[in-house]
Amino acid sequence: MTMTAEQQAAFELGSGYSADQVSLLISGASAAVIFLFLAWVLFSAYQGWADKSLSMKQLGFTLLRIALLLFVTLVILTV
């Protein structure tokens, strides 16, 4: 939903930033958190595979889930 001109002016007056800048900040922070989480999952999966407590099949499914979550995240953030 888009804001009216009055709402945009009030938002900029109250916050000192435009709504687009705040939206970009929130999207960027969300993407950074998700990327850090995915890196942690990938690192943990690799450690499990290296310790032989995670099979190659389980590692493959983990990588598939990571790729799917990354794809969905990027699609949502670019819309």
**pLDDT tens for each residue of 22-74:** 989 998 998 899 999 999 999 999 999 999 999 999 999 999 999 999 999 88
Determine the average pLDDT of the residues in 11-29: 92
Question: Which residue in 32, 18, 22 sits closest to 74, CA to CA?
Answer: 32
Coil/strand/helix, residue 10: helix
Q: Provide the pLDDT for residue 32.
A: 92
Residues 37 and 63: their CA atoms lie apart, in Å, by 13
Coil/strand/helix, residue 19: helix
Residue 1, pLDDT > 80, answer no
Q: Provide the pLDDT for residue 74.
A: 86
**4, 43 contact by CB (below 8 A):** no
Coil/strand/helix, residue 34: helix
Spell 11-29 as b/e; 16+ CB within 10 A means b. Answer: eeeeeeeeeeeeeeeeeee
